[in-house]
Structure 1
Amino acid sequence: MSQAFTVVIPARFASSRLPGKPLQDIAGKPMVQHVWEQACKSRARQVVVATDDARIVAACRGFGAEVLLTQVAHNSGTDRLAEVAIQLGLAGDDLLVNVQGDEPLIPPALINQVAANLAAQPLAAMATLAEPLEDAAALFNPNVVKVITDCNGLALTFSRAPLPWARDALACNPDQLPADVPYRRHIGIYAYRAQFLADFVAWGPCWLENTESLEQLRALWHGARIHVADALEAPPAGVDTLADLERVRRLLGA
């Protein structure tokens, strides 16, 4: 029997590219409600929205979600999850899945997958997902995070840089990916053990995390293991910009 888990949806009101993003209307509902409804379709025993804004608290209570008001001054979503784990009184070996508040189309199967993967990996502190990267332009795009794992599916590193660098092949033809290199794009959904979240916050940011602006590098810097598996299905893109929002509105018939 798979281990029970809690889904936490961090939802910040402030966004430089799309202010008030969690409350943006999509088909008559705030975006965070779509995320919550998708998460409720997973096998999670509990789905909680974590926010720093009273307007999001009011909206979530309006559609029946459990919501926690957290501190404003968190460096990352993972730091916010650590506060939630404390507020919920979770035990150290309890599992949490972080589902971003700007993923209104997140497939429930991916939530179940990442939780089950962590439950099956007792030596890992975190689990996440990836998918094959088959476009040379994406390899060179710093907004596309690349991941390399070892033979056991544990992450060696994540980077915004082209990784791994196929020295000879890319020097000859940078517009085509070499067929014998399994390039992978990281998908930003995570499962954690509650005790690890406390450790993560206590460590504080490291220079590598700050340099790449990738918080998962803090875990690797301190020797924690991250399990990575290919997603069972391709995740739809999230909402970062107004153009993304309009695309999702069209998909959902708004």
Structure 2
Amino acid sequence: MTTIQRPVGELLRQWRERRRLSQLDLSISAEISTRHLSFVETGRATPSRAMVLRLGEHLEVPLREQNQLLLAAGYAPAYQERKLADPDLGAARAAVRQVLAGHEPYPAVVVDRYWNLVDANGSTAILTEGAAPALLAEPANVLRLALHPDGISPRVLNPGEWRADLLARLRRQVESTADPELTALLEEMRAYPCAEPEPEGQIPGRGEIFVPLRIRHGDAELSFFSTVATFGAPLDVTLSELAIESFYPADEATGAYLRRWVAAGRIGAEHTEPVPT
């Protein structure tokens, strides 16, 4: 099979249009002339390596796609892509493990660009209990775990609004990256059944400031909200695509339940017995 490499000007134009910027908007932001930008996009001018990187930065193109822009322009990639186990990423691995361990007794996971599970702390077991072993096998995908009928979705008490929130996040990622693998993942997630309809618009209930995950564990109803952390100013493709999602108790009852659950040594236990009070 022959792979056809599209011209760098065409790729840059598509990224500009994806960001809903005019040539004037981008030329002002990147401090180049509109005429030169037009010549680059139409192939009448060949951008320098520095110009490709400057335009990629102002278009907020992910590092992986910036490398593709450089290759299309005839230059070597600027950003390395190393496995997380690489010795050069030792400090990053240590930081990730510190965040995961420090977040106990609350769940926290590390995912890559495609939502594959990279690492997790022990408390995450309270969320994944009961999921089919096939969904937990490496490389486990946290979206499949969340939305597949054999995953944790049967235990979720607000499946419609939680599903809508997850799919909205994935849609934004697809729009940001134009990645065909993420697009396929979005279509797969949309095809999964849901026990209740997704809300057309998120209308918060009284006192709510976020979409919670409400999930049953044994006889208890737990409620979580989450935050997502990424590495600042990464220069490695792998690090740029890692995200740490940390779950926090949305009410005191959930926090107390988790503390008792961990203290009772239930981390990783495959059961749903009530936590001792």
Q: TM-score, normalised by structure 1?
A: 0.22
Higher strand share: 1
Q: TM-score, normalised by structure 2?
A: 0.21
Higher relative contact order (CA 8 A, sep 6+): 1
- Larger Rg belongs to: 2
Higher helix share: 2
